[in-house]
């Protein structure tokens, strides 16, 4: 697999979907959904991306937020979120994005994240460092923060879907309480794709996601790692695209961060 070629295809698919989303954001319609906040544009974005990937790589299956698919643990797999942060998109905010990852044997090997409202494109592969496009044909390397003191660092969190009678969100409340005692004003911005890029850019020191789905983190986790950061599961285990929890940080304060949150209710 030529990952540089794959990244070009992924970027074009994300950009085309992003252009459509920006054009339709002011007229977006919410749809009924049994599982999550959904709009008509989520489906259209997914259609654009899937069509582009299938055209270039007809033999690679996909696993996407709305259409679904199978969590293939062997071989290649596209993992796609056509709009992450749909509630923000619906409310005309700019904190939302598109995530496309190429996964091989459960590990992300190429990732593209595009934040259309901010005109920010992020890319990385297992063979290349993370970069951010800063202009037409111009890129800069990404680097995580150098924060070394928890008290001076900021960490964000994500809600995830509320299931199990509210227990899932109770875990988030517990983490917020712990981080509030040890760090600077923890926040929740409701888009893992966009928020994790703050870690990759060095804007915040880390992010905790107690219950992610692969679509939320498959591309972002790789980009953070290739920007010099560290990504693990919440109890310190190795992270993969299908991990059931995620802690991402600049690496310097990672062990301290884990110590704070590891006592959270399971």
What does the pLDDT look like over 125-153, one tens digit per residue? 999 999 999 888 899 999 999 999 999 99
164 vs 52: CA distance, rounded Å: 37
Structural domain includes residue 266: no
The residue range of the domain holding 41 is 3-141
**pTM for the model:** 0.93
Torsions phi, psi for 166 (to 5 deg): 95, -5
Q: CA 46 to CA 51: how far, in whole Å? A: 8
The total number of structural domains that make up the chain: 2
The pLDDT tens digits of the residues spanning 229-243 come to 999 999 999 999 999
Residue 71 sits in a domain whose CATH number is 3.30.540.10
- Angstrom distance (rounded) from CA 135 to CA 143: 18
Shared-domain flag, residues 10 and 136? yes
- Collapsing DSSP states into helix, strand and coil, what is residue 22? helix
pLDDT tens, residue by residue, 51-95? 999 999 999 999 998 888 888 889 999 999 999 998 898 889 999
């Amino acid at each position: 697999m030529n990952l540089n070629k794959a990244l070009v295809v992924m970027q074009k698919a994300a950009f085309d979907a992003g252009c459509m989303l920006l054009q339709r954001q002011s007229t977006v319609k919410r749809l009924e959904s049994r599982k999550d906040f959904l709009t008509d544009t989520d489906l259209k974005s997914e259609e654009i991306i899937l069509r582009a990937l299938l055209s270039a790589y007809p033999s690679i299956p996909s696993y996407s937020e709305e259409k679904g698919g199978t969590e293939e643990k062997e071989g290649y797999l596209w993992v796609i979120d056509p709009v992450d942060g749909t509630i923000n998109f619906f409310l005309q905010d700019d904190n939302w994005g598109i995530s496309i990852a190429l996964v091989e044997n459960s590990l992300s090997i190429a990732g593209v994240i595009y934040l259309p409202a901010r005109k920010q494109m992020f890319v990385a592969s297992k063979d290349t460092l993370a970069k951010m496009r800063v202009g037409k044909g111009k890129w800069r390397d990404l680097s995580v923060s150098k924060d070394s003191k928890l008290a001076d660092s900021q960490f964000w969190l994500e809600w995830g879907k509320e299931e199990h009678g509210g227990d899932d969100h109770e875990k988030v409340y517990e983490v917020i309480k712990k981080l509030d005692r040890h760090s600077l004003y923890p926040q929740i911005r409701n888009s893992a794709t966009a928020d994790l890029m703050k870690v990759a850019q060095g804007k915040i020191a880390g992010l905790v996601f107690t219950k992610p789905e692969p679509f939320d983190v498959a591309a972002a986790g790789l980009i953070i790692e290739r920007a010099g950061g560290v990504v693990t599961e919440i109890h310190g285990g190795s992270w993969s695209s299908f991990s059931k929890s995620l802690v991402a940080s600049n690496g310097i304060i990672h062990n301290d961060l884990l110590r704070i949150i590891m006592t959270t209710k399971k």
